[in-house]
Structure 1
Amino acid sequence: MAFSNLEQDSDDVMGEINMVPLIDIMLVLLIIFIITVPVIKQAMNVELPQATTAPEDSKPETISLSIDQDGQFYLDTTAVSDDELRDALKQAVDGAPTPDKEPALHISGDKNVRYDRIARAMALANETGLSKIGFVTEPDGNAGTVDPASQGANEGGAQPAASAP
C-alpha cells in the first residue's frame, strides 16, 4: 500500500520534535525586540548641558627655522645665534599649554649647508624638549612623471601612450 505510514497506531511515541513552530516563535520575538529597543531609547528624556567653553584651535604653533649656505640660523626672518635659538625654542616649549600642543619646528636648510649645522639645530631642539621636527623641501619639478626612455623596456612589450603637444 502506498500510504502505509498513515495507518500507524496512535500509541506510538513521536521520535522527532517539530522545530518549525519554535523557529516561528523565536523570529516573532526577535522582530518585537528589534522594534521596541529604539522606542525605549528614545523614551528616555534627558536634558543635555550646554557647552560653555570655546572650541579649541587644533592646529599647533609652528616655528620656522631657516639655515643659509653659510650656516647662519634665521628664526622666521631674524638672524639668531645658537644661544638665542636655544632660548627661543625653550620659550616656545614652555609657552605651550599642554605637551600635546607643543610647537612644531620646521627646518628649511639650504641645499649647500653643511650637515653639522642642521644636526646642531636638531640638537638644540632636543635640548629644549622639542620633539616635533620637520624638514621643508621644494617639490621636484619632475615628481610624478616618468620618462619612458630612462626606464628601458616596458613590461609586457606595451608601448607608452603618446602625449599631445
Structure 2
Amino acid sequence: MAFSTGNSSGPMADINVTPLVDVMLVLLIIFMVTAPTLSYPIDINLPQPTLNPPPQDREPPPPVSLKIDASGTVSWDGAPVALNQLQNLMQQTVQRDPTNQPRLEIDVNGQAEYETLAKVLAYAKNAQMDKIGFVQNEQ
C-alpha cells in the first residue's frame, strides 16, 4: 500500500481493492454453496455387463417393414393390418426369438396423424420390441 508523503498536495490515485476482494469472496462462497443444489440426478438405464455375453455368430433376422400412410393405414411387411391387431403381430414376432429380434423399420408419411404413430410406438413398447428405427425418405 502506498503512503502519501507530505510533499504531494493532489488526491491519491490508488484504488482501494479490499472491498472488491471481499465482495468476490462472498460471491465465491455463495456459488460454492448453491452449486451442488442446482444439479439433480437423471435416471437412465445403462447396459449392465454380463459374464456370459450372447453369441454373436447368429445372423440377425430380416427387418420388419411397417408403413403408415397419409390416411392412417398401417401395413406390416406390405400387407395392410388393422391397428388393433398390430400388437399381437409384434408380440408373435418377439416371441419367436426374444434374444434375436428383427429390427422394426417404421416409415411414416409426413401427412399421417401423430396419434397413429404414437399408438404404433406404444404397441411396440408393450410387445417388448427393442430394435426400432425410422426410415427417412428423401423428398
Please report the TM-score for the alignment, with normalisation by the length of structure 2: 0.55
SS at the partner of 1:84? Answer: helix
Mapped contact 2:63–2:102 kept (Cα < 8 A): yes
Supply the distance in 1 between the matched residues of 2:128 and 2:60 (Cα, whole angstroms).
Answer: 19
Mapped contact 1:61–1:102 kept (Cα < 8 A): no
Max Rg structure: 1
Give, as a single letter, the amino acid of the residue that structure 2 aligns with 1:79: P
1:47 — aligned with what? Answer: none
SS at the partner of 1:134? Answer: strand
2:131 — aligned with what? Answer: 132
Please report the TM-score for the alignment, with normalisation by the length of structure 1: 0.47
1:105 — aligned with what? Answer: 104
2:92 — aligned with what? Answer: 91
Q: Between the two structures, name the one with larger relative contact order (CA 8 Å, sep ≥ 6).
A: 2
- How far off its partner does 1:66 sit? 0.3
**What value does the CA root-mean-square deviation take over the aligned residues?**
1.8
Q: Note the residue ranges of structure 1 that are not aligned, 5 or more in a row.
A: 1-54, 141-165
- Give aligned pairs, total: 84
Supply the distance in 2 between the matched residues of 1:107 and 1:66 (Cα, whole angstroms).
Answer: 6
Supply the distance in 2 between the matched residues of 1:119 and 1:83 (Cα, whole angstroms).
Answer: 13
Q: Note the residue ranges of structure 2 that are not aligned, 5 or more in a row.
A: 1-55
1:67 — aligned with what? Answer: 68
SS at the partner of 1:66? Answer: strand
**How far does the alpha carbon of each residue in 1:133-157 deviate from its partner, in whole angstroms, 9 at most, with x for none?**
10001136xxxxxxxxxxxxxxxxx
Give the number of the structure whose residues are more often helix, by fraction. 1
Give, as a single letter, the amino acid of the residue that structure 1 aligns with 2:80: A
Give runs of ≥4 in structure 1 deviating > 4 Å.
none
Identity across the alignment (%): 27
- How far off its partner does 1:132 sit? 1.2
